[in-house]
């Protein structure tokens, strides 16, 4: 399956990733759990449960645009694991508006 992941930090500040294949969802969950802890992400949820989309958005937000610019291997992993976790071929991660679209 061909995947296309777009990570947007605002107008004209987008990172696009196109790739085939992917990772296992369990591997993606572990990676996002690890990054969520390392980046010391904080998400306020009414139920106290952190959903997969919250982890993805928080990791992108706390990592920041500069990490996507400067650490291409990390950014590639982010895209690959986002696709694996959400199981979609086209994903838009809108960090500015804290939303994910398909």
pTM for the predicted model, two decimal places: 0.93
**Is residue 91 within 8 Å of residue 82, measured between CB atoms?**
yes
Backbone dihedral region of 48: left (phi > 0), alpha (psi from -120 to 50 degrees) or beta? left
pLDDT tens-digit profile, the chain (102 residues) = 799 999 999 999 999 999 998 899 999 999 999 999 999 998 877 777 889 999 999 999 999 999 999 999 999 999 999 999 999 999 999 999 999 999
Strand partners, 4: 18, 90
Burial letters 33-69, b for 16+ CB under 10 A, else e: eebbeebebebeeeeeeeeeebbbbbbbbbbebebbe
């Amino acid at each position: 399956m061909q995947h296309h992941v777009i990570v947007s930090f605002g107008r004209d500040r987008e990172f696009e990733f196109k790739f085939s294949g992917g990772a296992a969802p369990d591997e993606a969950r572990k990676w996002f759990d690890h990054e969520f802890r390392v980046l010391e992400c904080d998400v306020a949820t009414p139920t106290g449960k952190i959903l997969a989309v919250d982890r993805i958005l928080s990791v992108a937000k706390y990592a920041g645009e500069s990490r996507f610019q400067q650490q291409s291997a990390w950014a590639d992993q982010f895209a690959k694991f986002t696709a694996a976790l959400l199981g979609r071929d086209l994903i838009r991660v809108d960090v500015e508006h804290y939303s994910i679209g398909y």
